[in-house]
């Protein structure tokens, strides 16, 4: 759901999957980026459990600059950690890919 929320510009909902101490910075960053670009889609390429409470995912995002029609793409590596009953995104690389 995190990537779907990013895709549709629902950054407040996407931030619910971010660790609390990083939520505000994530949301501010995404709102700023949304002024100049728009996400056109995403595809989850791979998800792998890396431990009993950790996982990594590769997600391919497409986006366009609002001033042009050129589609650009980036593949983001996401690191997730299970906190209680919830999976939280703890790291993504490259950070400017989202």
pTM over 0.75: yes
Cβ-contact 5, 97 below 8 angstroms? no
CATH code of the domain containing 79: 3.10.450.50
Domain that holds residue 85: 2-97
List, as one string, the DSSP characters of 46-75.
EEEEEETTEEEEEEEEEEEETT---EEEEE
Place of tokens 């590769």: 58
Q: How many domains does the chain have?
A: 1
pLDDT in tens, the chain (98 residues): 899 999 999 999 999 999 999 999 999 999 999 999 999 999 999 999 999 999 999 999 999 998 888 889 999 999 999 999 999 999 988 765 55
């Amino acid at each position: 759901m995190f990537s779907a929320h990013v895709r549709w510009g629902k950054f407040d909902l996407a931030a619910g999957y971010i660790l609390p101490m990083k939520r505000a910075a994530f949301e501010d960053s995404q709102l700023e980026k949304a002024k100049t670009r728009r996400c056109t889609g995403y595809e989850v390429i791979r998800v792998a459990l890396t431990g009993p409470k950790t996982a990594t995912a590769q997600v391919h995002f497409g986006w366009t600059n609002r001033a042009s029609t050129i589609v650009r793409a980036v593949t983001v590596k996401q690191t997730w950690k299970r906190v209680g009953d919830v999976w939280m995104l703890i790291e993504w690389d490259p950070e400017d890919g989202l």
